[in-house]
Structure 1
């Protein structure tokens, strides 16, 4: 390797031609000033390009035949310790057959051109990986590019002259190039023609899926994503999977149609235009259940909530339909809410895996995104009580609207909790229903970032944009998202680029403010018909089977509607997202609110006070000032006197004695804002060594969790509430 490094150092003087003339990886587009890279003027085989040479070198060490012949020749000379000659005339003469096959015989400088061309192809591949999402066909309406970046043109390589950015030409299209290890477009092949390379890159990055992941710093994670999407043939579905997808689309769309027929003048915030969200959620749940998840906690806004309750949670349809009857009164205590704010909890068997699954959809008020940290808090609590520290049994899914995802600060706060040790839930799957409008506000007026999902980049969460009118692409993306979360325990975003067929609600007139968009929407063929026509055309299903599936679900809805007419009362207990055991008695009435005795003996209080005044760990040196505080605390205990901090300590300790876990969360709570609490002691001589005395009260006690939070108020409050 020392010979190679010497060669690289020498090559810095000779190889500026390619990267000084073109903006290889930094400026793929003629107007892409926003994406200019500091690597634009890097000399040949220096900087990031030297990394590429080292990559090829290690591949050559493992198997010389795995790299192009030009690299094989180059590295043989390097290992032999030969001085660098950019024209390599002696070597070229000895490799006559190689030179003739590449048109290099007796042509000084052509060997360097071969290496330069390979680097150019590497840069071309990287350009698609970084910015291919900007030209992906994401908008089902064909109006927008799904981002707001006006500097990015509509393509990467669609005309031959575009190759000039890389110093390549039309004559290079059929040349075969060695593929770097940072791409999987070759499948089992190590090299491809330039024509095939471009075609495969366009199929991966410029169709109905747009991938944003190259900002992630972890190489393993980037390679994982590349392999999932670049490998040829990965997005294939069996006929049975296609039929299941069609059936789920039928349920999603026919449910909305049924509500529109029965309650045409009612607000319900329907899902029309993004019906694919239902099979998308079911795919995430199916895949997660397959990997061991037992409990999924979800939060979402109002749009599509009734459909999720009916077709994902599988709430009894008659109970949903009862919510449309204004004459029904609640039979039990508690306050209700409008039907598109309600949540619930349900245990059932997942038919795809034949495993038990528990689903909880949190109730959500009109305060958009307020439910996000609450879901995270509930998920964290469930993981704690189940001993699921790795998040392999309990997970969360959050659904968002595009305008709220970009506009609400609590989204940012919640993301910043995702990797904090005491707040992480080991990854959340975010699904954005991106209907490209916020009530009446166009995207260009609703955000400053190109995408509504850009907030997720701050925590290195990959973002998968997908055209919602391509159901199979959506299902594949959702399956990969579930695998990502299970593999890396990190957040991931699925951006469903769709449209809103009606107004903000069913009474709203969208033509007032978006006339051109809604002219196109009125002409738009529903996704169910598109997909059904496709499956009928390829013989996966017949027209009769499709019509029978529709009739079957319509019949289910009609029968449930008939049963709903028999209900005379509503039951609040049926709409609880956290049905605590014993919350209701056998008669369905709330238990008495009388408070049981809470006093404890003086001996227990004295014991707690003594521990609160000590350091229960050997060889642990605390700050001298803290020693005085603990000494004063001990004197108060002896004198049967308490201050606020000691009273708090005794109250918490009494809970722990009874087996009740206590979690204290917030800004600076470990020490206390006024330096009064000191629930976490820090060793003055050993870095990061700490002690929590309250976890040393008794051998058999509940654990005590005390954790400083990020400088967030709304988000941390919501998580604590959850």
Structure 2
């Protein structure tokens, strides 16, 4: 028995139950004895001393000094081993450019610890906390240098979990960080490298000067991905979703996903044969997505390479969301094993883009975990063209951001394919075992500039002088295999010729592609292609169903102690269900979810404060005030209901919204909702809105039914809590790409949410949701309004005024309607009609014309809004009216004057402005002007 373990078991503080804690403390002691408490220092020194006395050759000495010397030597060896495990990666031989030798670290020098030549053949413990094995120091040093200072530099000692740390340590040290590959495997690696190099050579010759963002210098990515896919399939993965920017993308499409070479060549010639017909804009070839089904030892694996824009790394959370949707779909199996996310990054982007941090931070939260992502960094050691590492980041490695989630990082030499595949196997095994993120830092280089027309030597003369004379990785590996007798020079030449001939014949070279495989995405989305937003949709539900759902929604488990305010809300909902009081927004929204869930549609709702609701209106998650336990009524409607997911998100907008978009693009049968805490917080996710939500269909043919809740309205809360920037969404509207709605009653939100799922129509839905209207005395609905009808795109005049006497019609949207209504009623203005436009896009022309036709004496058409004139809907919507107006009708604006800020920050100024907005709309004298209807009559109102 290990003497140390025996000593440990004799003291309760040192029991094996505490071994993880002890190891961490001991490592800290070895690095710096003063960093641990004095009592622990004494304990460790005592144990080391007892251990030294227990040595066979220590028993022969009588003096205490010899035993103490042995103690010091063993302690020195312990510290040396610890430093190799902690800092060996800094001295690893893993940079193919070799622009400078690995740094000499004194922490890795035995002499630094007082260990000289005379100690090299003395026996020492390798791991005094776990093993009784002893080796000569010479062998220990050899093992440490091979393991930690070879082509693989392993960063893992920052991990707190001792089991994980021990697992990695054992894997590395038992193999000396190298894999065993037989002759056939080595030939296959060479074939993959031949393919990776071959497609780039072909494109370089045939399409001179065209951008392709080649993989040259990082060709080992192809064998890495092939190994990852094959072993993942062997371990039970059924789907792999990959995200990557443009570097090497075309190579991956051809050599990993099996895209036909002829299709790629046509794209170089400006022809896109596989572009969806409804993708009207299209995109450049190195942004397009692709999917295929590949045979592996474990069966067919569906590969999906996500579409992406040039906004580097923004694809990361989108991929994670798509993976989570696929995993949730596989609820009856191990979804985290079945669906694997793989993200391929650039070195400068991984360090520089904030969405990387957001995505990593999401990785182990309940709402956003995907059971671990394999991150692959194509480390070209240069950002775009001109950036040097010391300008690109403030950290030692480009991967240091991953330390925040204690992910292990394996820095591997891209010129050593066998080391790369060893790390690939290690990373995959780690992910499958621990369900956590892992990073492969593929240290390589870029043979050309940022693109093939760029000249990198202008700003990087020394680096590119070396690169010009540096053999390709295929040449290096071929020479290595020739020297080993695995292949002959003729075989190497034939591999290259065979690949080039295959490209000319439009043949794929590598793994077999299953062409007749069917998957969820290919079948379920077909129902929504080519559909129109105008298709009728009855969204009312039977009154008896409303009563049944209401009963289940207000049932609380026995003994569950609600907060008094929550209890009051539940009591109000009981009265609403009984028809005793009108429905409010929160309950109508809840009933919409309940009805969809019991009809087989899942619901996923995330955002900051969504469980309770930022404005205390939702209370979808109830909290026991005595125990802290939670209860979610919407998850307890029936045994056959669909799934209801609700999560209070982390404090992120860009990463979270990207995730939800990715989820919605993979799951059409789930109502996916992201709610901003305040509507203008979506500003932090503008790139997701611009590049995915509003343009994903026209660029890539990707549909999405994502719904965004953006609280909007002017209540005097200042510039950052008033406007959801409705003008930005309207500016992005075209080709019926999104829906922008501003519902003003509980019944409207009920029907709108149901319509989003019941129609065979999937487009993103942007909803300007209320704040003060959640409890406004007029913003209520009757119970029977949920039973009939559907969402009303326009709500006309609600008071019984004589249409023939109406001379002024005020158009508005949102909360300002109630201010207008109350003032008009108070002042008895019977010549003014108020029309609410509840759907701003697609604009409901026919309904709008029907409403106007009811007022034959109309002379003035006023657009009223709360927002400043240069913001809000006015400038984005007025062209809808121009060609619809008679020549004697004046169109004018009533609202706040132009402003650089969305709203004022002083409450009294807000009240003054709000009063003037309403008065201008209802009483204001419109200055005579040229009737716009005539001037712009040639414009199409459907533009």
**Normalization by structure 2: what TM-score?**
0.63
SS of residue paired to 1:392 = helix
Greater shift, 163-172 or 535-544, is seen at: 163-172
Quick check: 1:47 aligned with 2:40? Answer: yes
Q: Does 1:195 align with 2:177?
A: no
What are the superposed Cα offsets for residues 624-672 of structure 1, whole Å, 9 maximum, x if unpaired? 1111111122222333732221121122122112211100011111111
Q: Find the aligned partners of 1:357 and 1:179 in 2 and give their Cα distance.
A: 42
Equivalent position to 1:253, from 194, 197, 222: 197
- Measured against aligned partners, the alpha-carbon deviations of 1:483-520 in whole angstroms (never above 9, x if no partner) come to 00000000000000110100001111111211111111
Distance 1:512 1:71, change over 3 A: same
Q: Which stretch shifts more, 454-463 or 137-146?
A: 137-146
Residue 716 of structure 1 pairs with residue 709 of structure 2: no
Structure 2 CA distance for partners of 1:269 and 1:577, relative to 1, 3 Å: farther
C-alpha displacement at 1:716, in angstroms?
0.4
Cα displacement string for residues 381-418 of structure 1 (whole angstroms, at most 9, x for unaligned residues) = 10001114551111100000000100111000000111
Alignment of 1:215-234 (within 5 A): 215-232=158-175
Output the CA distance in 2 between the equivalents of 1:408 and 1:455: 10
User: Could you tell me whether the CA contact under 8 Å between 2:48 and 2:75 is conserved in 1?
Assistant: no
2:92 pairs with one of 118, 124, 136: 136
1:140-171: per-residue Cα shift (whole Å, max 9, x none)? Answer: 1111579xxxxxx424578xxx4332122221
Deviates more, 1:707-716 or 1:258-267: 258-267
1:290 corresponding residue in structure 2: 234
Alpha-carbon deviations, 1:449-508, whole Å to 9, x = none?
Answer: 100100101111000000101111001001100000000000000000110100001111
What runs of 5+ residues in structure 1 fail to find an aligned partner?
9-23, 29-36, 58-67, 74-94, 147-152, 563-573
Alpha-carbon deviations, 1:664-684, whole Å to 9, x = none?
Answer: 011111111011100011111
Aligned equivalent of 1:397: 342
CA contact (8 A) 1:296 1:396 kept: yes
Q: Cα deviation per residue 1:37-87 (whole Å; 9 max; x = unaligned)?
A: 55357799x636845976998xxxxxxxxxx7x4536xxxxxxxxxxxxxx
Q: How does 1:551-570 map to 2 (within 5 A)?
A: 551-560=497-506
Distance, in Å, in 2 between the alignment partners of 1:515 and 1:578 is 51
Rounded to whole Å, the distance in 2 between the matches of 1:450 and 1:3 is 41
**Does 2:112 match 1:165?**
yes
Corresponding residue for residue 687 of structure 2: none
Is 1:417 the equivalent of 2:362? yes
Instruction: Map 1:84-163 onto structure 2 (within 5 A).
Output: 105=61, 107-144=63-100, 153-156=103-106, 162-163=109-110
Q: How many matched pairs? A: 631
- The alignment partner of 1:581 has SS state of helix
Aligned to 2:380: 435
Among 471, 475, 491, which residue is 2:417 paired with? Answer: 471
Partner deviation per Cα, 1:347-389 (whole Å, 9 max, x = no partner):
2312xx1511110010000111111001111111100011145
1:669 matched to 2:610? The reply is yes
* Alpha-carbon distance change, 113 to 238 in structure 1, aligned in 2, over 3 angstroms: same
Q: 1:629 to 1:620 in 2, by over 3 A?
A: same
CA contact (8 A) 1:289 1:357 kept: yes
Q: Is 1:386 paired with 2:330?
A: yes
Q: How does 1:134-533 map to 2 (within 5 A)?
A: 134-144=90-100, 153-156=103-106, 162-180=109-127, 190-232=133-175, 235-327=179-271, 332-335=277-280, 336-350=282-296, 353=297, 355-387=299-331, 388=333, 391-439=336-384, 440-533=386-479
Counterpart-to-counterpart distance in 2, 1:2 and 1:180: 11
- Residues 53 and 67, structure 2, Cα contact 8 Å, conserved in 1: no
- State whether residues 349 and 356 of structure 1, in contact with CA within 8 Å, keep that contact through their aligned partners in structure 2: yes
* 1:415 to 1:307, Cα distance in 2 relative to 1, 3 A: same
The answer as to whether partners of 2:81 and 2:126 remain within 8 angstroms in 1 is no
Q: Distance in 2 between matches of 1:682 and 1:649?
A: 17
- Distance in 1 of aligned mates of 2:463 and 2:158: 33
Cα distance in 2, alignment partners of residues 217 and 98 from structure 1: 35
Q: What is residue 54 of structure 2 aligned with on the other side? A: 72
Compared with structure 1, are the counterparts of its residues 313 and 156 closer, same or farther at alpha carbon in structure 2 (3 Å cutoff)?
farther
In structure 2, C-alpha distance between the alignment counterparts of 1:143 and 1:227, rounded to whole Å: 32
Kindly indicate whether the alpha-carbon contact (under 8 Å) linking 1:398 and 1:429 is maintained by their aligned counterparts in 2. yes
Indicate conservation of the 8 Å contact 2:294/2:302, yes or no.
Answer: yes
Describe the SS at the equivalent of 1:705. Answer: strand
2:86/2:155 contact within 8 Å kept: yes
Residue by residue over 1:221-272, the C-alpha shift from the partner in whole angstroms, topping out at 9 and shown as x without a partner, is 1111111111146522111111111111111110111111111121111100
- Distance in 1 (CA, whole Å) between partners of 2:5 and 2:163 is 27
**1:682 pairs with 2:627:** no
Q: State the partner residue of 2:546.
A: 605
Match of 2:568 among 628, 635, 646: 628
Task: Using CA pairs under 8 Å that are at least 6 residues apart, name the structure with larger relative contact order, 1 or 2.
Answer: 1
Alignment CA distance shift 1:167-1:673 (3 Å): same
Question: What SS is found at the alignment partner of 1:560?
Answer: coil
Shift of 1:423: 1.3
Larger Rg: 2
Secondary structure of the 2:295 match is strand
Structure 2 Cα separation of the partners of residues 202 and 363 of structure 1 = 42
* Cα contact 1:135–1:156 (8 A) shared by 2: no
1:621 Cα deviation (Å)?
Answer: 1.6
1:531-560 CA deviation, whole Å, 9 max, x = no partner? 000001111111222222111111111112
Q: Distance in 1 between matches of 2:216 and 2:496?
A: 17
Q: Is the 8 A contact 1:120 1:167 kept in 2?
A: yes
Measured at CA, do residues 48 and 276 of structure 1 come closer, stay the same or move farther in structure 2, by a change above 3 Å?
farther
Q: Separation in 1 of the partners of 2:49 and 2:219?
A: 47
Distance of aligned partners of 1:7 and 1:226 in 2 relative to their CA distance in 1, 3 Å threshold: closer
Secondary structure class of the residue paired with 1:340: coil
Match of 2:494 among 548, 558, 561: 548
| Cα distance in 2 for residues equivalent to 1:346 and 1:228 | 33
- 1:638 — aligned with what? 578
Cα distance in structure 1, aligned partners of 2:166 and 2:529 = 56
Distance 1:650 1:48, change over 3 A: farther
Q: Is the 8 A contact 2:227 2:421 kept in 1?
A: yes
CA distance in 2, matches of 1:577, 1:2: 54
Contact 1:183 1:227 in 2 (8 A): no
Over the residues paired in the alignment, what is the CA RMSD in angstroms?
3.1
Distance 1:3 1:398 in 2: 46
TM-score scaled by structure 1? 0.82
